[in-house]
Structure 1
Amino acid sequence: MKNPVLPVFLLFVLTFQAVGAEPNTQSHARAYDWLQRIAEAPRQQNYHGTFVYYADGHIETSQITHRVDHDDEYDKIEVLDGMARIVYRYNDEMKCYMPGSKKVYTETRWFRKFFPDLLPHPTERIRDNYNMEIDGQERIAGYDAQIIKLIPKDNLRYGHKFWIDIDSGLLLKAAVIDKEDIVEQYAFAQLKIGKDIDEESLSTESISTQNWKQVDLTTVHLDEGELKWRLGELPAGFEKLAEMRRKLAGKSTMIDHIVLSDDIATVSIFIEPVKTDDTPPVPGFYSSRGAINIYVRELENNKITTVGEVPLNTIKLIGDAVFAQQ
């Protein structure tokens, strides 16, 4: 079954064949340092470019402008194909403009995950779940790129391939791989790094929002154990990052939300009560575009929806691990 829960910004571009890889022992150690650069570079660089998302035969083009001013960051991300969407970000404060429906969604971002800012700061536990290799160099959008491969040690997660600008450390292209198949790709088609970016290019004043509906998507972060929901045995490598209550688009009440990660893949668990006048949830698997899989089950009159960029067997193991504290 198809479900419209999608990563908003992903991309694709053709590249040339990679040149020879380093020996594994040396490659594994250096690859971890490159992952650190991927995590740091988007927070330190000005950049402006156009990137493409490709998955399941679908291509979507977006334009991004990112500016750093001392300790402050600013983003503008505009989807150029299909339904118009424009996201503005100032540090963790985000606004998403939807001209078609005349709505503005505001939210405090709780987790970074917009290309090219895809990775948190990795920890040593990545080594427990992935083999890391340096795999030659290619040229992407006019920049020399170092290629890094993450090869999963089990069938619980996808593989990943990253193309990183050698000078700045900025991620230029990323692919999610299931065995030998590319599940989805992101890549810059055009990019300028390190140029001055004026404030006007990141201003929202050019958008007329008269008579638009303002929707505030509230997030309340909770301490460990505040939710009544607990997690049993999890797939190897996955740990809980946070628990919270969130106001989501289209929902009338706050939803319980638990987030897990293996330092690369992220999985969310959404838990909401099933009201007597609601249509009963249909348990089972739902497919989304690209790497995102969805698993739904019902527990004690609650709908548990597990969503993440992991294979179906992993999404089920995580969804089935949820239980209510008595």
Structure 2
Amino acid sequence: MWLALGASAVYAQSAAPTAAAPQANAPASSASPGNAAQQQSVLHWLERLHMATRNRSYTGTFVFSNGTEIASSKIWHVCDGRQQLERIEALTGAPRITMRRNDEVAIFFPVQKLVHKDRRDALRQFPDWLRPTNPRIDSFYSVRVVGSERVAGLEATVVDFVAADGLRFGYRVWSEQRTGLMLKMQTRSPQGRVLEQVAFTELQLDAPVRLELLARQFEQTNGYRIVHSVQRPSTALDQRWRMRHDVPGFQPMVFNLRQDPNAAPIAQWVFSDGLASVSLFIETFNPQRHTRESVQAEGATHSLTRRVGDHWVTAMGEVPPETLLLHIQALERLR
């Protein structure tokens, strides 16, 4: 998935609506509210956050936490407006280096001398939010500037993205005032509880990161065993699936088939409302493996499994479990 935000998005090779509670947008500490000119649209802020990583290089250290896990990583990022390269080195846990070139991802495991190569399915990755794809996103989120704070020694504007219903979480974002770069982000429950957080602890903007050096590192696989993700694009219709009705705000994005030579293929259908995303993993039901339906949670990421006819469906995303259930209930096999 991704579907978790931050470096874990790459590492993982991851009901009636209710109004969001006011507590979710408690003012930031030592902050003063923005004036009317600052209260821009959701699309405006997402575009600003997205463009902040273009034509800019930086290095820094960021920390991800979700209540049960704390992980830190070092990042080197460079973009010339056309090509974007990135190196993320895990500073905690097993040694691991994630290299990204545009939508190509290579994860190096130095101890095992192993490289996993794949395409990035995540819709966003800290500190970059991809260009918003849902023009109706303002129907499902509102935005409010709540003040300013310092993060990693830099002045940031604090912005709340408030969910319009109970089908999605809210977000609080710290955007560097000069460049717009995201310095910190929290995923928040409707009650205002922080479910996940990712933040820079130190950051050097406009650092002398060389694009050609990162490009060489991406290709340096001598002595490593390379494992390629075996997947091919498809469509829900070709695989005889459809949604009986939409889950409010969530649009179908991509449909891929992941093929393991030793197992039946697994289909992945991705939906997004422009911020949150949901993946449906669909495989043939196996009574020996698929023994119990379940709901699990880790930080903001929930997963839910259900049997749908002759298939087993795992829904996963940074959304409430009710949203996952609505996706599964809407899923229908075509004859």
TM-score, shorter chain, exceeding 0.5: yes
> Is the alpha carbon distance of 1:101 and 1:231 closer, same or farther for their aligned partners in structure 2, counting shifts above 3 Å?
farther
Q: What is the rounded CA distance, in whole Å, between the counterparts of 1:153 and 1:275 in structure 2?
A: 39
Aligned positions of 1:178-189 closer than 5 A: 178=189, 179-189=191-201
Counterpart AA for 1:316: L
> Is the alpha carbon distance of 1:27 and 1:6 closer, same or farther for their aligned partners in structure 2, counting shifts above 3 Å?
closer
Are the aligned partners of 1:227 and 1:243 in contact in 2 as well (CA < 8 Å)? no
Are the aligned partners of 2:144 and 2:160 in contact in 1 as well (CA < 8 Å)? yes
Shift of 1:44: 2.8
Q: 1:296: which partner in 2? A: 305
Q: Which of 228, 242, 245 in structure 1 is aligned with 2:254?
A: 242
SS state at 1:121 partner: coil
Q: 2:272: which partner in 1? A: 261
> Is the alpha carbon distance of 1:80 and 1:253 closer, same or farther for their aligned partners in structure 2, counting shifts above 3 Å?
farther
Shift of 1:221: 2.0
Q: 1:129: which partner in 2? A: 140
Q: What is the rounded CA distance, in whole Å, between the counterparts of 1:55 and 1:298 in structure 2?
A: 29
2:197 counterpart of 1:192: no
Q: 2:289: which partner in 1? A: 279
Q: What is the rounded CA distance, in whole Å, between the counterparts of 2:227 and 2:291 in structure 1?
A: 26
SS state at 1:147 partner: strand
2:124 counterpart of 1:113: yes
Q: Which of 298, 316, 319 in structure 1 is aligned with 2:325?
A: 316
Which stretch shows the higher mean deviation, 152-161 or 39-48? 39-48
Q: What is the rounded CA distance, in whole Å, between the counterparts of 2:310 and 2:296 in structure 1?
A: 20
Identity %: 27
Q: 1:20: which partner in 2? A: 32
CA shift digits 1:96-128 (9 cap, x unpaired): 112344321111224442211134325441211
Q: Which of 238, 242, 250 in structure 2 is aligned with 1:230?
A: 242
Q: 2:78: which partner in 1? A: 67
Are the aligned partners of 2:58 and 2:207 in contact in 1 as well (CA < 8 Å)? yes
> Is the alpha carbon distance of 1:123 and 1:7 closer, same or farther for their aligned partners in structure 2, counting shifts above 3 Å?
closer
Aligned positions of 1:54-203 closer than 5 A: 54-121=65-132, 123-178=134-189, 179-198=191-210, 199-200=212-213, 203=216
> Is the alpha carbon distance of 1:323 and 1:182 closer, same or farther for their aligned partners in structure 2, counting shifts above 3 Å?
same
| Stretches of structure 1 lacking an aligned partner (at least 5 in a row) | none
Shift of 1:284: 2.2
Q: What is the rounded CA distance, in whole Å, between the counterparts of 2:258 and 2:106 in structure 1?
A: 16
Q: 1:52: which partner in 2? A: 63
CA shift digits 1:300-326 (9 cap, x unpaired): 321101000001111111122211011
Tell me the matched-pair count.
313
Are the aligned partners of 2:315 and 2:324 in contact in 1 as well (CA < 8 Å)? yes
Are the aligned partners of 1:183 and 1:290 in contact in 2 as well (CA < 8 Å)? yes
SS state at 2:29 partner: coil
Q: 2:51: which partner in 1? A: 40
Are the aligned partners of 1:88 and 1:202 in contact in 2 as well (CA < 8 Å)? no
SS state at 1:237 partner: coil
Shift of 1:32: 4.0
Are the aligned partners of 2:6 and 2:127 in contact in 1 as well (CA < 8 Å)? no
SS state at 2:88 partner: strand
Give TM-score scaled by structure 2 length. Answer: 0.84
Q: What is the rounded CA distance, in whole Å, between the counterparts of 1:189 and 1:293 in structure 2?
A: 27
SS state at 2:319 partner: coil
Shift of 1:206: 10
Give TM-score scaled by structure 1 length. Answer: 0.87
Q: Which of 225, 233, 239 in structure 2 is aligned with 1:213?
A: 225
| Stretches of structure 2 lacking an aligned partner (at least 5 in a row) | 10-27
> Is the alpha carbon distance of 1:318 and 1:172 closer, same or farther for their aligned partners in structure 2, counting shifts above 3 Å?
same
Shift of 1:209: 5.3
SS state at 1:154 partner: coil
Shift of 1:73: 1.3
